[in-house]
A = this chain, B = another copy of it.
């Protein structure tokens, strides 16, 4: 019994990964509301397989982005520790967050849609990224570097919205506007 994980589980895991990859790819092309069939087709599996692994669309969306979300959240304390000032840390973290969002076509729109079925993703953001961001904001606040009334959730939602790109408003524009927003968040001397 040299293998703890059997061949079958390994295969299942590979299938799961394939679905995730296909979904990520399709999400880039069509957004998170793409038909399940399209994802199944690109993954080379039956629709039933997707439903087995991800009962709801939100489960799939969440799974696709979970790893990157966790990574992004983990960045917050690290940046806070190594940056010259809390605001610098916030700024860098926001850069990372934007980088995450901007490469996920349709995710920003999904987050902002208020779609009932996407509550899991919403919750994931709430539970993972919001606390991370809040830590940074608190540090800025303690340093008197932050305008009053800026909350982590609202700021992230705004950033998410700013990262909804389209014709004539690309990733560079989004980053510029996010930077501008952040400047606006800084308490003026």
Q: Which residues of A contact B (CB under 8 A)?
A: 109, 112-114, 122, 147, 149-150, 153-155, 157-158, 161-162, 164-169, 173, 176-177, 179-185, 188
Contact = CB atoms under 8 A, between A and B. Distances in A.
A165 B109 contact: no
Given A113-B166, A153-B168, 10 more contacts: A109-B109, A109-B164, A112-B166, A114-B165, A114-B166, A150-B180, A157-B168, A157-B169, A158-B162, A179-B184
A23 to B, nearest CB: 20
Given A162-B162, A169-B154, A180 B114 contact: no
Contacts of A188: 183, 188
A177 B181 contact: yes
Contacts of A122: 167
Nearest to A182: B184
6 smallest beta-carbon distances between A and B, as pairs: A114-B166, A184-B184, A183-B184, A180-B184, A158-B177, A161-B161
26 contacts: A109-B113, A112-B161, A112-B164, A112-B166, A114-B167, A147-B180, A149-B176, A150-B180, A153-B168, A153-B169, A154-B169, A154-B173, A154-B176, A157-B169, A158-B162, A158-B177, A161-B162, A161-B164, A164-B164, A179-B184, A180-B184, A181-B181, A183-B183, A183-B188, A184-B184, A184-B185
A113 B188 CA distance: 34
Contacts of A183: 147, 183-184, 188
A18 to B, nearest CB: 22
Contacts of A164: 109, 112-113, 161, 164
Nearest to A126: B168
Nearest to A184: B184
Query: Which of A149, A180, A181, A184 has the most B CB atoms < 10 Å from its CB?
Result: A180
